[in-house]
Amino acid sequence: MAAAERTSPWPRARAVVAGLGASGYAAADALLELGAAVTVLDDGDDPSLHEHGRILETLGAEVRLGPGSSARLPEGADVVITSPGWRPDRPLLAQAARTGIPVWGEPELAWRLMPVDRRITWLGVTGTNGKTTTTQMLDSMLRAGGFRSAAVGNIGRPIIEAINDPAGYEVLAVELSSFQLHWSPSLALHSAAVLNLHADHLEWYAYAAGGTAAAMAAYGADKARIYHRVHRSCVYNVAEPATREMVAAADVVEGARAIGFTLAIPSVAQLGVVDGQIVDRAFVARRQTSALPLASLDDVRPYAPHNVENALAAAALARSFGVAAPAIGRGLRDLRLGGHRIETVAEAGGVRWVDDSKATNPHAANSSMRAFERIVWIAGGQAKGTSFDDLISAHRDRLRGAVLLGADRRVIAEALAEHAPEVPVVVLDGTDTSLMAEAVRRAARMALPGDTVLMAPGCASKDMWPGYAQRGDDFAAAVRDVTGRGA
Listed by start position, the domains of the chain span: 12-101, 111-334, 343-481
H/E stretch holding 37 reads strand 37-42
* Residue closest to 471 by CA, chosen among 424, 439, 430, 428: 439
Residue 342 confidence (pLDDT): 81
Total Cβ atoms within 10 A of residue 288: 8
Q: Considering all CA atoms of the chain, what is the largest pairwise distance in Å, rounded to the nearest integer?
A: 69
The larger pLDDT score, comparing residue 412 to residue 341, is at 412
The larger pLDDT score, comparing residue 15 to residue 348, is at 15
Residue 70 confidence (pLDDT): 94
Collapsed DSSP state (helix, strand, coil) of residue 304:
coil
Q: Tell me the pairing of strands 452-455 and 343-348.
A: unpaired
DSSP 208: S
Backbone angles phi, psi at 130, to 5 degrees: 90, 0
C-alpha distances in angstroms, 375 versus 340, 360, 369, 446, 448? 17, 18, 8, 10, 10
- pLDDT score of 404 more than 70: yes
Beta bridge partners of 319: none
Chain segment 162-212, per-residue pLDDT in tens: 999 988 999 999 999 999 999 999 999 999 999 999 888 788 888 776 788
Collapsed DSSP state (helix, strand, coil) of residue 439:
helix
Asked if 62 and 40 touch (Cβ cutoff 8 Å), the reply is yes
Asked if 246 and 291 touch (Cβ cutoff 8 Å), the reply is no
Confidence of residue 343 (pLDDT cuts 50, 70, 90): confident
Q: For the CA atoms of 26, 96, 68, 204, what is the dihedral angle to 10 degrees?
A: -80
Instruction: Mention every residue, 6+ apart, whose C-beta is less than 8 A from residue 444.
Output: 351, 453, 482, 483
- pLDDT score of 1 more than 80: no
Confidence of residue 486 (pLDDT cuts 50, 70, 90): low
Residue 370 confidence (pLDDT): 84
Give the mean pLDDT of 433-448: 96
| 118-127, 361-370, 442-451: range with lowest mean pLDDT | 361-370
Chain segment 208-234, per-residue pLDDT in tens: 767 888 889 999 999 999 999 999 999
Residue 485 confidence (pLDDT): 63
C-alpha distances in angstroms, 300 versus 163, 308, 328, 404, 452? 30, 6, 11, 31, 21
* DSSP character string of 266-283: --TTEEEEETTEEEESSS
Instruction: Mention every residue, 6+ apart, whose C-beta is less than 8 A from residue 159.
Output: 106, 107, 110, 111, 152, 153, 172, 174
Beta bridge partners of 105: 82
Total Cβ atoms within 10 A of residue 350: 10
DSSP 460: B
The larger pLDDT score, comparing residue 14 to residue 384, is at 14
End-to-end CA distance of the chain: 54
The Cα 262–Cα 278 span in angstroms is 10
Asked if 352 and 119 touch (Cβ cutoff 8 Å), the reply is no
Sign of CA dihedral 424, 427, 433, 438: negative
Chain segment 366-389, per-residue pLDDT in tens: 888 988 889 999 999 999 888 999
Sign of CA dihedral 45, 46, 47, 52: negative
Give the mean pLDDT of 2-16: 93
Chain segment 16-44, per-residue pLDDT in tens: 999 999 999 999 999 999 999 999 999 99
Residue 231 confidence (pLDDT): 96
Instruction: Mention every residue, 6+ apart, whose C-beta is less than 8 A from residue 129.
Output: 195, 196, 198, 306, 359, 361, 363, 364, 367
Give the mean pLDDT of 46-68: 94
- pLDDT score of 64 more than 60: yes
Domains 12-101 and 343-481 share a fold: no
* Residue closest to 364 by CA, chosen among 454, 432, 445: 454
CATH 3.40.1190.10 for domain 111-334, yes or no, is: yes
The Cα 151–Cα 175 span in angstroms is 8
- pLDDT score of 279 more than 60: yes
Q: CATH homologous superfamily of domain 343-481?
A: Mur ligase, C-terminal domain (3.90.190.20)
What's the helix, strand, coil split of the chain in %, to 5? Answer: 35, 20, 45
Confidence of residue 461 (pLDDT cuts 50, 70, 90): very high
Residue 194 confidence (pLDDT): 98
* Residue closest to 236 by CA, chosen among 304, 144, 361, 320: 320
Beta bridge partners of 42: 65
Asked if 45 and 65 touch (Cβ cutoff 8 Å), the reply is yes
The Cα 136–Cα 132 span in angstroms is 6
| 211-215, 250-254, 283-287: range with lowest mean pLDDT | 211-215
The Cα 101–Cα 80 span in angstroms is 7
- Amino acid identity of 385? G
Give the mean pLDDT of 350-369: 90
The Cα 309–Cα 191 span in angstroms is 17
Give the mean pLDDT of 96-105: 96
Total Cβ atoms within 10 A of residue 334: 13
CATH number of 12-101: 3.40.50.720
**Mean pLDDT estimate for the chain:** 93
Asked if 284 and 292 touch (Cβ cutoff 8 Å), the reply is yes
- pLDDT score of 101 more than 70: yes
Chain segment 286-319, per-residue pLDDT in tens: 999 989 999 999 999 888 888 999 999 999 999 9
Give the mean pLDDT of 444-463: 94
- By residue count, the chain amounts to 487
